[in-house]
Amino acid sequence: MRMSLAIVVACLALAGCGRLIPDAPGQATGPRPYLPGQTPARSGDALIDRPIDDGTFGRLQRATAELQTCEAVLGQARVTFSPTPDRVNSETCGLAQAGVLGPDYGTRARMAPASPTTTCALAAAISVWRRQSVEPAAREILGVGVDQIDHMGVYACRPVNNQAGKRPSAHSRAAALDFAGVRLSDGRRITVTNDWNTTTPEGRFLHRIRDDACKVFGTTLSPDYNALHADHLHLEAENGRLCR
């Protein structure tokens, strides 16, 4: 009894001494001041919530190569992604490391149509692009937020450019998104079809998010590429490094 009391006293004394060890800088107790760029981020935040730069595509590729890591990155950033079983639809078409991309609870804009089936790597790239480019660019250039991202689909069993005999499109692996435009929170609608070839703020917005996309996606094709892309941006997560 006396022994255990001695241990308790010793423990209390040690705990008390521990308090005297000065905290490391930035680790002070009490509410921490908000220091932009200095707050240690969780790994998911570090990827999805990190501003776009020349290293973004490489970081995404490394973090999304393994499905488990990719899912963790999305989960930590509050992006809903429900994996679907791998499946083969035909010799050139099927799903691997894919799932349903649901709501992104870390941001405002919603996808329309909702819940596309995408590879996990594409889901992560879309998440970076909408948080770090589409929404901030709209606020900066157009003065309002984005409510909705309109797209023309992800998964489609077809060859490149829909031409028979060409290699299978990234769409046949659910690895590319065709972006059509956005709806802003003030009701305005911006489309690649109507606004790309203008010098208006809407046109500048579309060119800005295309330029950003080139650092996020492996392949980014706009109306500048060919007439088949006059009404959308083709955004492909896989390696390719084509940007037009």
The DSSP secondary structure of 46-88, one letter per residue, reads: HHHTSPP-TTHHHHHHHHHSSHHHHHHHHHHTTEEEEE---EE
Q: Would you put residue 162 in left (φ > 0), alpha (ψ -120 to 50) or beta?
A: left
Pairing of strands 189-191, 98-104: unpaired
Rounded to a whole number of angstroms, the minimum distance from the CB of residue 52 to Zn ion is 21
At closest approach, how far in Å is the CB of 75 from Zn ion? Answer: 27
- In the complex with Zn ion, the residue whose CB is nearer, 70 or 180, is 180
Spatial separation of the C-alpha atoms in residues 3 and 35, rounded to whole Å:
48
The HSE-up count of residue 100 (CA atoms within 13 Å, CB side) is 7
Q: Which is nearer to Zn ion, 63 or 237 (CB)?
A: 237
CB nearer Zn ion, residue 68 or residue 193: 193
Residue with tokens 């009490």: 30
CB of 234 to Zn ion, least distance (A): 3
DSSP type of residue 219: E
C-beta neighbour count of 32 within 10 angstroms: 11
User: From the CB of 176, what's the least distance to Zn ion, in Å?
Assistant: 5
Smallest separation, CB 171 to Zn ion (Å): 6
Task: CB nearer to Zn ion: give 57 or 217.
Answer: 217
Return the number of the residue (125 or 142) whose C-beta is nearest Zn ion: 125
**Closest CB to Zn ion: residue number:** 234
* Beta carbon nearer to Zn ion, 178 or 212: 178
Q: What are phi and psi of 154, to 5 degrees?
A: -125, -60
* Count of C-beta atoms within a 10 Å radius of residue 119: 26
Minimum Å gap between C-beta 130 and Zn ion is: 17
Interface ranges with Zn ion (CB under 5 A): 176, 178, 234
Q: In this structure, are residues 133 and 52 in contact, taking their beta carbons and an 8 Å threshold?
A: yes
